Structure formats: C-alpha cells, structure tokens
Amino acid sequence: MIFYYAPRTVSVASHITLNEAAADYELRRLDFSMTEQRSDDYLRVNPKGRVPALVTDQGILTETPAILAYVAQSYPAARLAPLDDPFIFAKMQEFNAYLCATVHVAHAHKIRGSRWVDDDNAIKAMQAKVPQTMGECFALIDKEMFAGPWVMGSDYSICDPYLFTVENWLEGDGVDIDDFPRIAEHNQRMREREAVKPVLELHGL
C-alpha cells in the first residue's frame, strides 16, 4: 500500500491506524506549502486534492472514516474495531462520521472559509465563531459520546486516533482542552502508545 499524507493534517489518524495494524505501507508526503495536493500527479490519485489517500491492491481509498474502517477490517488481528458486532461497529462509524462531517468542518471554518463564501467579512465572521463551535462539539463528545477511557469504552478502536487528531487542533482553534479533563487524559494516553510515538515525531506533534 501507498499512503499519501501531509504533516499535522487529518491524515495523522490514518497514519496511526496503519501503525497500530502493523500494516506494510509506503509513505508519500505532500507539501501543502507548494500546493502539491493540487498537482496533476496527485490529482490522478485523489481528484479531490486532499489528504489522506491510500492506494491498495483493489484501488484507491480517500476519506478518513473509509480508510480507518478498511484498515480495521483488513487486519482483524489488531482488534481495532468490533467486527463481530454490527451495532457497535455502526456506533463506531457514527462517532467517526460526526468527526468528519461536523467537527472537521467547524475547524475548517478557521482556515478554509473560502470553500464556502467569497466575502471577506463573512469569512471573518466564520473564523470568529470557531472557538464556540469547536467548544460545543467537544462538550457534546465529552458528555454524550466518549465512554472512557477510550472512545468506545474499555477497548481501543479506530475512533481513538481520529479523536486524538482532532483534539490536537483545539489549542489553535481557541479551545482549552483542559476544559474537558477526560479528553485531555485521552490525549496523553494516546501519546504513550508505541504506534503513536513515531507519528508524533514525523508530524511534529
């Protein structure tokens, strides 16, 4: 497999998961400062011009929830998902879909406002709203969705590297992670995992 990533992006979640699964893969780094994600070569891999992308023997996967589920199902011995329980697996997907469709979008309003509007004042208004919306997202996660000590409870799953990735955006979004002690503890717990440490070093986290 070939894994396309950019440092300190949402690709951190898939990168950790590949390590947790002890998967055999090659790394291909994209330099966003050079807009390599919009290069002709990369657009042939992922026409969306975003990361991550995972090239497999069967084809190319994009979108973090899809990549995470694929890795979990491809490496069942790693026990990264409740593969024998359709309902709990769906709850895991529900959590990851929330991170993808709601939390990541709220974060993107700070630096990607031009995806939605062209008016400078509207972009500034979106940016000003980010601390509130991200804080509300994490208040909901902490109160209603995070079982502890891992997202799904006692068992580590593909939800955990995804949540960890988004947790690391909070400071830049004007949210104090210590307002959510269980989330802060989760972040520290993730940093202690052997599969996570080399990713932290590579991504500068």
pLDDT tens-place string over residues 54-78? 999 999 999 999 999 999 999 999 9
What is the per-residue pLDDT for 8?
Answer: 94
pLDDT at 118 over 90: no
Q: What percent of the chain has pLDDT over 70?
A: 100
Q: What is the DSSP letter of 49?
A: -
Within this chain, do residues 68 and 122 fall inside the same structural domain, yes or no?
A: no
Range scoring the smallest mean pLDDT among 26-35, 97-106, 107-116, 135-144: 107-116
Within this chain, do residues 70 and 42 fall inside the same structural domain, yes or no?
A: yes
Mean of the per-residue pLDDT values of the chain: 96
Q: What percent of the chain has pLDDT over 90?
A: 94
Within this chain, do residues 91 and 65 fall inside the same structural domain, yes or no?
A: no
Distance CA 205, CA 203 (A): 6
Q: What is the pTM of this model?
A: 0.96
- Domain assignment present for residue 65? The answer is yes
Range scoring the smallest mean pLDDT among 9-18, 31-40, 80-89: 31-40
What is the per-residue pLDDT for 113?
Answer: 78
Within this chain, do residues 150 and 91 fall inside the same structural domain, yes or no?
A: yes
CATH at 27: 3.40.30.10
Mean pLDDT computed over 116-128? 92
What is the per-residue pLDDT for 112?
Answer: 86
pLDDT confidence band for 196 (50 / 70 / 90) = very high
User: Mind spelling out the 3-state secondary structure of 97-159?
Assistant: HHHHHHHHHHHHHHHCHHHCCCCHHHHHHHHHHHHHHHHHHHHHHHHHHCCCCECCECCCCCH
What is the per-residue pLDDT for 61?
Answer: 98
pLDDT confidence band for 115 (50 / 70 / 90) = confident
Distance CA 54, CA 3 (A): 5
Number of domains composing the chain: 2
Mean pLDDT computed over 170-174? 97
Domain boundary residue, one of 79, 106, 127: 79
What is the per-residue pLDDT for 175?
Answer: 98
Residues spanned by the domain of 12: 2-79
pLDDT at 114 over 90: no
Domain boundary residue, one of 64, 79, 94: 79
- Is there a contact between 96 and 116 (Cβ–Cβ < 8 Å)? no
